Amino acid sequence: MSRHISAMKFSGILLKQKLQLVQSKQVYQAYKFVNNIQVYTDQQQVSNIPGLRGFGFSLGNSSSEARFRSTMASNKEKNDEEKTSDNNDRAGDHLKGIVSYWGVNPPKITTKDGSPWRWNCFRPWETYKADTTIDVTKHHKATTLMDKFAYGIVQSLKYPTYMFFQRRHMCHAMLLETVAAVPGMVGGMLLHCKSLRRFEHSGGWIKALLEEAENERMHLMTFLELSQPRWYERALVFAVQGLFFNGYFVAYLVSPKLAHRIVGYLEEEAVNSYTEFLIDLEKGLVENRPAPAIAIDYWRLPPESTLKDVVTVIRADEAHHRDLNHYASVS
């Protein structure tokens, strides 16, 4: 009997401890939730947090502005920063909201000369010098049925695109990059999931494809410095991304080799369209304005660089993507 009572007492203690654990977990979750709100409220980006939409926060800062601020030092931000005495925190005002998060401070990043790093969307160690010696005329001859099918798809997409944009290179480039940044992310994501699912290595492709996607996104951020999309272009990108993301996702599931071949041919067309861009820049049909600061820092270009230099390095990037995807199609 006494043994039975002891067992009941012991199970009672266990139950109490379990309840305390659950309560402490709940407190922890609530604490985390409140802290997240605090942090993101300071950043004025609550509208971007899933699950917090509709909570009635009014921050007076549109999501588009938040997006803009997250990728570049806008003129407004630059002016604000100039007025601020503390120039050490030039990485963006919103970083002030996360000066200390559970005692963890954001890193202070500086350039080689000691001046503060001004970009949030990339870091100094992600910058590079583009290899402009790459052959921009290379073409993978379609020999197999799969190659011909991939080539046919790209050619059928090419003509309506050229008809729509004609010689509006800036607009063409900007919208092209919104599409070009999708395949790397989809391919990388699917290979990542495959690696987890099969408990096997990826052979380095996940990182390569994600880096390609990031590089394409940086092309877009560069063109955003030079031109802003109109409302109907934003709508077009919205629709095209929905179609292209899902189409490429299915294509990659069915045949990764076919998907990479399609991207290889798309990159060939990207190289061609940038060549046309350069021809019109040389002819003076497009104004050869100074290179945006983001491009100078990202590609380590000389300060006096122009749009022509920027298009040249972007074309070299596209040529590398072309080779990478054609290679991925056979490996």
Q: Which stretch binds Fe ion (CB under 5 A): 45-53, 122-130, 189-197, 219-227?
A: 219-227
DSSP 303-327: TT-BHHHHHHHHHHHHHHHHHHHHH
- 180 part of the interface to Fe ion, by CB under 5 A: yes
The greatest distance separating any two alpha carbons of the chain, rounded to the nearest whole angstrom, comes to 101
Nearer of residues 309 and 318 to Fe ion, judged by Cβ: 318
Q: What angle do CA 69, 221, 158 make, to 5 degrees?
A: 145
Instruction: Give the Cβ contact number of residue 86 at 10 Å.
Output: 8
- 268 part of the interface to Fe ion, by CB under 5 A: no
Q: Which stretch binds Fe ion (CB under 5 A): 18-26, 155-163, 212-220, 323-331?
A: 212-220
Answer whether 177's CB lies under 8 Å from 220's CB: yes
Query: How far, in Å, CA of 20 to CA of 29, rounded?
Result: 14
Q: 200 labelled as ligand-binding? A: no
Q: 219 labelled as ligand-binding? A: yes
Rounded to the nearest 10°, the torsion over CA 180, 270, 169, 288 is 110
Residue in 323, 311, 327, 328 with CA at minimum distance from that of residue 139? 323
Write down the residue that tokens 């983001």 correspond to. 294
Q: How far is the CB of 326 from Fe ion (least distance, A)?
A: 12
Q: How far is the CB of 252 from Fe ion (least distance, A)?
A: 16
Q: How far is the CB of 218 from Fe ion (least distance, A)?
A: 8
Q: Which stretch binds Fe ion (CB under 5 A): 4-12, 53-61, 170-178, 235-243?
A: 170-178
- 216 part of the interface to Fe ion, by CB under 5 A: yes
- 321 part of the interface to Fe ion, by CB under 5 A: yes
- 260 part of the interface to Fe ion, by CB under 5 A: no
Q: Please give the annotated binding residues for Fe cation, written as ranges.
A: 177, 216, 219, 267, 318, 321
Binding stretches for Fe ion (CB under 5 A): 177, 180, 216, 219, 267, 318, 321
